[in-house]
Structure 1
Amino acid sequence: MTTWVRCHWDEEDIWFYFEVDAEGWVTRQVELQGPELTPIAAASLDEWRQAHDAGRLDEYDSRFGITAELPVSEWADHDPEQLTFEAFEEVWGSARGQIASRPG
């Protein structure tokens, strides 16, 4: 079962939005920073794997970032807010559009 959550990291003023699969792995991740909620990452695990297989991992990472490398069950002090699929998709679509439109 897929779930969608968000949490805030006060130290860097970053909102993290996660799509998490049934095993607890992050499949998509968005990071929005500061009061303007500037997108700094909008990564997909499937796209990351495709970029890796194609030898374009550095290009993908520098543009879209990466997803969390541990399942959420292993995160300390993680107390996320549940989201709906629609709420996650709205944030995902906006962040991806903004990042993709930036000069490469």
Structure 2
Amino acid sequence: MTTWMRCYWDEEDTWFYFEVDAEGWVIRQVELEGPELIPIAAASLAEWQRARDAGRLGDYDSRFGITAELPVSEWEGHDPEQLTFEEFEDVWGRARQQIASRPS
């Protein structure tokens, strides 16, 4: 079952939003930084894999970032807040639109 959550990291003043598959792997991730909640990442694991296979990984990483490299079961020190699909999609859509509209 897919789940959606967010976590806040004080040290970086960053909100992390995650879409997680049934095995605990992050399949989409958004990072919003600072009090203005500026999107600094909005990455999709499937897109990342396609970019890697096509030899465009550097371009993808520099624009959209990457997803977490460990399943959530291996994370320490996070206190996730559960989200609905709709809440995640709203954040995902706005972050992707802002990042995609920036000059590359």
Distance 2:93 2:77 in 1: 28
Listed as ranges, the gaps of 5+ residues in structure 1 are none
How many residues were matched structurally?
104
* Alignment of 1:44 onto 2:44: yes
Aligned residue in 1 for 2:22: 22
Give the CA RMSD over aligned residues.
0.3
> Aligned partner of 2:59: which letter?
E
Identity across the alignment (%): 82
Divergent runs of 4+, >2 A = none
Aligned residue in 2 for 1:95: 95
Aligned residue in 2 for 1:67: 67
Listed as ranges, the gaps of 5+ residues in structure 2 are none
> Aligned partner of 2:31: which letter?
E
Compute the displacement of 1:84 (Å): 0.2
Aligned pairs for 1:70-89 within 5 A: 70-89=70-89
Distance 1:79 1:38 in 2: 21
SS in 2 for 1:87: helix
Compute the displacement of 1:78 (Å): 2.0
1:24-81 alpha-carbon deviations (Å, 9 max, x no partner) = 0000000000000000000000000000000000000000000000000000122200
Q: Structure 2 length as normaliser, TM-score?
A: 0.99
Q: Structure 1 length as normaliser, TM-score?
A: 0.99
